[in-house]
Amino acid sequence: MDFDIIFGNAARAALGPEAIILALAAIGLNIHFGYTGLLNFGQVGFIMLGAYGTSVTVATFGWSLWAGIPIGLFLALALAVTLGIPTLRLHAVMFAIATIAAAEIIRILIGSTDAIGLTGGPLSVSFDAGAFFDLNPYADGPQDRYGVGTFAFTGQQMWVITVGWVLVALVSLFVFLIVRSPWGRVLKSIREDQDAARSLGKNVFWYKMQALMIGGVIGGMAGVIDAIKTSGADPNGFRPQVTFYTYTALLLGGAATYLGPVLGAILFWFLREWIESFLRQLSAEAWLPNAVADFLEGSEGIISVAMVGLALVLLMLFRPQGITGNRTEMQLDAR
Amino acid sequence: MPADRPPPEGPSAPEDRSMLVDSARRTTEVEPILTVHPEPGVAKPNPILTMDGLQRSFGGLTAVDVDHLEIERGIVTALIGPNGAGKTTLFNLITGFDRADSGRWEFNGQMVTSPSPDRLARRGMVRTFQLTKSLAKLSVLQNMLLGAPNQVGERLWAAPFRHLWRNQERANTERADELLEQFNLSHMRDELAGTLSGGQRKLLEMARALMSDPALVMLDEPMAGVNPALAQSLLGHITELALSGVSVVYIEHDMDVVSGISDWVVVLAQGQVIAEGGPWKVIHDEVVIDAYLGRRRAGTAS
Ligand SMILES: Nc1ncnc2c1ncn2[C@@H]1O[C@H](COP(=O)(O)OP(=O)(O)OP(=O)(O)O)[C@@H](O)[C@H]1O
Ligand SMILES: [Mg+2]
pLDDT, one tens digit per residue, over A249-263 is 999 999 999 999 999
Please give the pLDDT value at position B297: 52
**Which residue, judged by its Cα, is nearest atom 25 of ligand 1?**
B83
Ligand 1 atom closest to B81 (CA): 21
Rounded average pLDDT over A32-57: 96
Sign of torsion over alpha carbons A249, A253, A255, A258:
negative
Residue B146's nearest CA partner among B84, B208, B232, B96 is B208
pLDDT of B1 higher than 60: no
Please give the pLDDT value at position B26: 47
Strand partners, B78: B250, B265
Strand segments (E) across A237-323: none
Please give the pLDDT value at position B218: 95
Model pLDDT for residues B90-99, shown as the tens digit of each residue: 999 999 999 9
What's the mean per-residue pLDDT of chain A? Answer: 91
Please give the pLDDT value at position A330: 65
Rounded average pLDDT over A293-312: 84
Residue A88's nearest CA partner among A215, A185, A248 is A215
Question: What is the SS3 assignment for B220?
Answer: strand
Minimal C-alpha gap between A47 and chain B (Å): 23
pLDDT of B110 higher than 70: yes
List, as ranges, residues 220-259 from A with C-beta within 8 Å of B: 256
Mutate to test the pocket of ligand 1, among B89, B252, B292 (most ligand atoms within 8 A of CB): B89
Q: Which ligand is nearest to the CA of B86?
A: 1
In a mutagenesis test of the B interface, which of A200, A204, A209 is the best target, namely the one with the most B β-carbons within 10 Å? A200
Model pLDDT for residues B262-275, shown as the tens digit of each residue: 999 999 999 999 98
Ligand 2 centre and the CA of B260: distance in Å? Answer: 21
pLDDT of B301 higher than 50: no
What is the pLDDT confidence band of residue A331, given thresholds at 50, 70 and 90? low
pTM for the model stands at 0.89
Please give the pLDDT value at position B89: 95
Identify which has the larger pLDDT, B223 or A103. A103
The DSSP output letter for A34 is I
Q: Are strands B76-80 and B264-269 parallel, antiparallel or unpaired?
A: parallel
From chain B, which residues contact A within 8 Å (Cβ)? 95, 97, 116-119, 121-122, 126-129, 133-138, 142, 145-147, 149, 151-156, 158-160, 162, 165, 169, 192, 194-195, 208-209, 212
**A327 interfaces chain B, CB cutoff of 8 Å:** no
Cα separation, A6 vs B254, in Å, equals 71
Model pLDDT for residues A218-231, shown as the tens digit of each residue: 999 999 999 999 99
Residue A228's nearest CA partner among A127, A134, A306, A83 is A127
Report how far Cα A217 is from the mean position of its chain's Cα atoms.
12
pLDDT of A208 higher than 90: yes
What is the pLDDT confidence band of residue B125, given thresholds at 50, 70 and 90? very high
**Which residue, judged by its Cα, is nearest atom 29 of ligand 1?**
B84
Nearest CB among A178, A195, A256 relative to B133 is that of: A195
The residue of chain B nearest to residue A209, with distances taken between CA atoms, is B156
Number of CB atoms found within 10 A of residue B130's CB = 15
Ligand 1 centre and the CA of A108: distance in Å? Answer: 47
Please give the pLDDT value at position A322: 80
Share of chain A above pLDDT 70, in %: 98
Residue A162's nearest CA partner among A173, A150, A170 is A170
- Asked if B165 and A181 come within 8 Å (Cβ–Cβ), the reply is yes
pLDDT of B14 higher than 80: no
What is the pLDDT confidence band of residue B292, given thresholds at 50, 70 and 90? confident
Q: Which ligand is nearest to the CA of B92?
A: 1
What's the mean per-residue pLDDT of chain B? Answer: 84
Rounded average pLDDT over A21-45: 96
Model pLDDT for residues A131-149, shown as the tens digit of each residue: 999 998 998 888 888 988 8
Ligand 1 atom closest to B89 (CA): 18
**A184 interfaces chain B, CB cutoff of 8 Å:** yes
pLDDT of B180 higher than 50: yes
Rounded average pLDDT over B95-122: 91
- Asked if B135 and A196 come within 8 Å (Cβ–Cβ), the reply is yes
Cα separation, B30 vs B47, in Å, equals 13
CB pairs under 8 A between A and B: 112
**A304 interfaces chain B, CB cutoff of 8 Å:** no
Nearest CB among A186, A198, A201 relative to B149 is that of: A201
Mutate to test the pocket of ligand 1, among B57, B58, B250 (most ligand atoms within 8 A of CB): B58
Give me the interface pTM, i.e. the ipTM.
0.87
Which range, A83-97, A175-189, B45-59, is most confident? A175-189
- Chain A residues close to B169, C-beta within 8 Å: 182
**A294 interfaces chain B, CB cutoff of 8 Å:** no
**Which residue, judged by its Cα, is nearest atom 9 of ligand 1?**
B89
In a mutagenesis test of the A interface, which of B141, B156, B165, B205 is the best target, namely the one with the most A β-carbons within 10 Å? B156
Which range, A171-185, B201-215, B255-269, is most confident? A171-185
Long-range CB contacts for residues A81-88, cutoff 8 Å, separation at least 24:
A81/A209, A81/A213, A83/A42, A83/A45, A83/A212, A84/A208, A84/A209, A84/A212, A84/A213, A85/A209, A88/A38, A88/A205, A88/A208, A88/A209, A88/A212
Mutate to test the pocket of ligand 1, among B57, B65, B87, B258 (most ligand atoms within 8 A of CB): B87
Please give the pLDDT value at position B146: 96
What is the pLDDT confidence band of residue B20, given thresholds at 50, 70 and 90? very low
Q: Fill in the amino acid letter for A4.
A: D
**A181 interfaces chain B, CB cutoff of 8 Å:** yes
Identify which has the larger pLDDT, B170 or B291. B170
Please give the pLDDT value at position B31: 59
Please give the pLDDT value at position B134: 87
Cα separation, A56 vs A67, in Å, equals 11
Domain spanning A3-330: CATH 1.10.3470: yes
Rounded average pLDDT over A223-248: 94
What is the pLDDT confidence band of residue A55, given thresholds at 50, 70 and 90? very high
Rounded average pLDDT over B268-286: 87
- Asked if A200 and B147 come within 8 Å (Cβ–Cβ), the reply is yes
- Chain A residues close to B146, C-beta within 8 Å: 185-186, 189, 197, 200, 202
Please give the pLDDT value at position A333: 63
- Asked if A182 and B151 come within 8 Å (Cβ–Cβ), the reply is yes
What is the pLDDT confidence band of residue B231, given thresholds at 50, 70 and 90? confident
Q: Which ligand is nearest to the CA of B64?
A: 1
- Asked if A182 and B136 come within 8 Å (Cβ–Cβ), the reply is no
Provide residues with CB under 6 Å of ligand 1. B 58, 61, 63, 81, 83-89, 130
- Asked if A200 and B133 come within 8 Å (Cβ–Cβ), the reply is no
pLDDT of B300 higher than 50: no
Please give the pLDDT value at position B67: 92
Q: Which ligand is nearest to the CA of B80?
A: 1
Which range, A175-179, B2-6, B256-260, is most confident? A175-179
